Structure formats: C-alpha cells, structure tokens
Amino acid sequence: MIESVKQGKFLVVTIPDDWKHYTIEGIFKDYWKVPKKMIHEWRMGKAVTVNDQKIPWTSLLKPGDRLAVPVFEDTDDLVAATDLQISILYEDEHLLIVNKPPGMDTHPNSAGQADTLMNGVAHYLLSTEQPTMAKHIHRLDKDTSGAVLFAKNRLSGVMLDKMLEERKIHRTYLAIVHGLLSKAKGTINEKIGRDRHHPTRRRVSPTGQTAITHFRVLERDPKKKLTIVKCSLESGRTHQIRVHFSHIGHPLAGDVLYGGKAVFPRQALHAYKISFIHPVTEEPIECIAPFLDSVPIFPDFPLP
C-alpha cells in the first residue's frame, strides 16, 4: 500500500522503500506513466515539492520523503447537477464506483439531458462539497445495470484510462439468455463492427474490432428455457455480450434489439462486480453491485 493523503489541492505521497531509485520525473513518467502534457503543466506550475521544498526533478527520492503534487484542482462543471439518489458502492479521494440502475444513460447524449448517471454524480459531489470533476472510465448501456467507475481527479483519470486499456480493470456480468446452453463454460471470440442497416445496432463482422467474451453457466431453467451465465470480457466493445450471445443463437432475454423475446422489461444484463488494483494507493479494490430493479429479473441467489 502506498501511503498518501489529500492536503488542499495537493496529493501528498510518502515515498516507499521500493521507490528509492526514482527521481521526481521518474515517478511521473515511468512509474505513474502520466501524459507528457500533464507533466509539463506540473513542471511549469512549479508547485511540486518534496518535504515542502522545491528541488530539481532529477533528484533521487528517499524512503519517507513526502512528495506533494497538485492533482485536486477545481474544474468547471461539465454537466448539470440532478438529485437522482444514486447508490455509491465505493469512494475515496481519487475514484467513485456507482451502481447504475436500469433505464438510465451513463452520460448525456444530447444538450440539456439531465437525468443520466453523470448528472447524479455531479449532484452527489456538489452536495458533499467536493470538486465536481467526474469522468466515467467506462460506460454501460441504458438498460444494463451495475457498477460504473468514475475518476475524481485528472491523475486518477489518466491512470484508470491506461489500466482499462491494458485490461487491468476486471468487470464481471450476469446475463440471462434464451435457450439451454449445452456447454458449462466457453469463450466467444468474434470481431464486432457496426451494422450498416441500423444506426445503433452492432454485429459480428470479420472487419470489426477484436472482441472476446468468456462465460460460465450458473443455472439452467428447463421450464422457461433460460440459462443464467457469468461473463467476463477481454475487451469492451459496444453491446459486446448482447451481440456475442445473439450470434451463437442465445440472445439475452428481454433484448429485442438482438432477437430476444420481451419476457423482461429490459435486457437481462447486470455488471455485478468490478475489481482492480487502486492506481494511487495500490490497494486491491472489489465491489459487488446489488440488483436495483423494481421488478426483479434475476433469481434470488448469492452473487458468485
């Protein structure tokens, strides 16, 4: 664990033993892998200190040194604040994990839209007297529920973006599909691209982007001819789980866009778990997102 504390606009990090061969610049460039533009801003701003002193960035750091970096800066409100009574799963100075209900967009898609998860996050931050900088690191479809990760400052934002790109943020889903899957587990490795005949639909395409979905059967319902599966992704393509299961002949229950029957008021897809190593403190983070449907879709069994 990396010891750190917020002091005003500064993140103050206590240098651990295994950082003793790094310089200030080395921490930013090689360890945190901060973008050049942000490093340049910090250098020109001349606010970075070690033990409250401004020292050359080429200086080697010693265990116990206190490195102060101005990461908690005020930003303009990007979206309107709306009280949506959002459910917080985890929060610290750097990030926020929110349980998105079904029927809610992750972010505004048009000017003036104020009923999205981002609007609810903006209200929460404002009501708790925090800077209202919030950046969603990934998104969920409107009718998919579950955990969504937000960054609360620019440093955590760029670090989490890189972690997502490098597949270091693990998201696990529950889905109910039509039919009885014969395999207990499997992998769907099919590229996904846009459907030229529909503005929002995606399809399996040899010219699309690589998309890999792993699944494991949790329960089969022979009477209703439905199967509950746990899914994990090696990629994060739009509608990936929905497209993949439709492609193998088992569309998600309730997902009429991809051939499912309207047996539920929405597609039966829930992002129930997110796990990763915290980008700043390096602590393991794991959150389980309870179901929020007013009309239950998933059976009442312990989340795997």
CA dist 268 and 264 (Å) reads: 7
CB neighbourhood size of 236 (10 A):
15
Of 52, 65, 83, 141, the active-site residue reads 141
- Whether residue 65 lies in the annotated active site: no
Pairing of strands 10-14, 66-70: antiparallel
Quick one: which of 172, 167, 156, 170 has its CA closest to 278? 156
Assign 298 to helix, strand or coil. Answer: coil
Burial of 209 (0-12, 13-18, 19+ CB in 10 A): middle
Q: Which residues contact 293 (CB under 8 A, 6 or more apart)?
A: 101, 102, 145
For residues 250-265, one letter each, b for 16 or more C-beta atoms within 10 angstroms of the residue's C-beta and e for the rest, the string is bbbbbbebbebeeebe
Q: Which residues contact 133 (CB under 8 A, 6 or more apart)?
A: 73, 74, 75, 78, 151, 152, 153, 154
CB neighbourhood size of 178 (10 A):
23
Assign 123 to helix, strand or coil. Answer: helix
For residue 125, the surrounding DSSP H or E stretch is helix 117-127
Q: Known catalytic residues?
A: 141
